[in-house]
Amino acid sequence: MNGHHLILGELDDFITGESIKDTHDERYRQQLAHLLVNRKGYLKSEVEPRKSLLVRAGKKKAIIKIDFLIKLAGKVCMVIKYGPGSIVTRRRPLLAVSRIIEPYQVPIAVVTNGEDAEIIDGSSGDVISRGLANIPSKSQMIEIASGKPFNPLPAHRAEMESRIVYCYEVDGSCPCDEDICKLMDNEHFMKKALELAEGALSQGEFPVGCVMVHREEILVTGTRRGTLGDDGNELDHAEMVALRRLIEVGNPVDHGEVTAFCTMEPCLMCYAALILAGIGKIVFAYEDVMGGGSGCELSRLNPLYKNSPITVVANVLRIESLQLFKAYFSNPANRYWKQSLLAEYTLMQ
């Protein structure tokens, strides 16, 4: 772990008064905030700290934090990004940020390591001055902004700029940097659920896996148990196993923000249990033509179900899941739901 991300305690943010994590990096940011307000003449209300920015590179997405935006007369005029060490390598990604953080080109971008700074013209990308003392003051900024067109960037160009930010700031970041949050897509978590299903298959169990995710983080997992031999246990479905673990860990997250990734469409029992637990979303891979419950029309049921805000997404990595069920039903040693409608439907594909 790099020292600059070490958490030393908490401090009160100079701009917002919020209590935030105290790190060596944060101390430099706080000094910058003081500089902007006390020496450069900006009002605290004109300085927005820790602005989140969604960046993409193809299917990859992440949220990064921009240290300060300076907003005058409703327009962002300056973006400031702090980072320890060399500032030269951070010039290009910050320039890209100045082109995508608003629907127009932000006039000035400042990259700083807290001791030195480069002041960059957003449109040309040229370094127009250096040093913390040369960060434009409010009166200078008003003058600079008055001569700028605030033109929008063409969409394809914005896409490329976003990719540049992603490659520098996300792919090139320290793993311990909490200011960067990589957003995983449905396929990423379904792959995890498929790995669990594969594990179940290798033990002769019915190949179903379930992963419960909250804000890009896996909370709990479950795999199908109790399908060995002739007496199938109809309680230990992967979703029920995961739900039970969710209760056991006692994680106080909002279940409405939890997504259940299931390699097979949940049955009626699991679908109802997920609804009762307040789970916000189900993403499944392979449809269960025999026992799937997610097609059940909730509007015809009693209020608890009728008013459930649950959403269901089907067909995510369906083929990958189908392959596991084909393998399961093709093996004569496996007896659970042998010669059923599900087995027939699966093996004819």
**What's the per-residue H, E or C state across the chain?**
CCHHHCCCEEEECCCCCCEEEECHHHHHHHHHHHHHHHHCCCCHHHEEEEEEEEEEECCEEEEEEEEEEEEECCEEEEEEEECCCCCHHHHHHHHHHHHHCCCCCCCEEEEECCCCEEEEECCCCCEEEECHHHCCCHHHHHHHHHCCCCCCCCHHHHHHHHHHHHHHHHHCCCCCCCCCEEECCHHHHHHHHHHHHHHHHHCCCCCCEEEEEECCEEEEEEECCCCCCCCCCCCCCHHHHHHHHHHHHCCCCCHHHEEEEEEECCEHHHHHHHHHCCCCEEEEEECCCCCECCCCCHHHCCHHHHCCCCEEECCCCHHHHHHHHHHHHHCCCCCCCCCCHHHHHHHCC
Note whether 237 binds Zn ion by CB under 5 A: yes
Q: Is 239 a catalytic residue?
A: yes
Of 139-147, 180-188, 216-224, 237-245, the window that binds Zn ion (rule: CB under 5 A) is 237-245
Nearer to Zn ion, 15 or 193 (CB): 193
Shortest distance, position 1 Cβ to Zn ion, whole Å: 42
Shortest distance, position 241 Cβ to Zn ion, whole Å: 10
Of 52-60, 210-218, 269-277, 339-347, the window that binds Zn ion (rule: CB under 5 A) is 269-277
Of the CA atoms within 13 Å of residue 238, those in its CB half-sphere come to 29
Of 10-18, 123-131, 132-140, 229-237, the window that binds Zn ion (rule: CB under 5 A) is 229-237
Q: Token pair 């916000």 is at which residue?
A: 280
Nearer to Zn ion, 114 or 209 (CB): 209
Shortest distance, position 280 Cβ to Zn ion, whole Å: 18
Shortest distance, position 212 Cβ to Zn ion, whole Å: 14
Restricted to residues 83-102, the positions that interact with Zn ion (CB under 5 A) are none
Nearer to Zn ion, 99 or 224 (CB): 224
Of 24-32, 177-185, 231-239, 306-314, the window that binds Zn ion (rule: CB under 5 A) is 231-239
Note whether 211 binds Zn ion by CB under 5 A: no
Among 35, 79, 267, 322, binds Zn ion (CB under 5 A): 267
Nearer to Zn ion, 18 or 234 (CB): 234
Cα(329)–Cα(256) distance, integer angstroms: 35
Shortest distance, position 239 Cβ to Zn ion, whole Å: 5
Nearer to Zn ion, 181 or 260 (CB): 260
Among candidate residues 26, 161, 169, 239, the one labeled active-site is 239
Note whether 270 binds Zn ion by CB under 5 A: yes
Shortest distance, position 234 Cβ to Zn ion, whole Å: 8
Nearer to Zn ion, 192 or 224 (CB): 224
Restricted to residues 21-50, the positions that interact with Zn ion (CB under 5 A) are none
CA nearest neighbour of 311 among 270, 257, 269, 249? 257
Of 19-27, 126-134, 192-200, 261-269, the window that binds Zn ion (rule: CB under 5 A) is 261-269
Q: List the catalytic residues.
A: 239
Positions in the binding site for Zn ion (CB under 5 A): 237, 267, 270
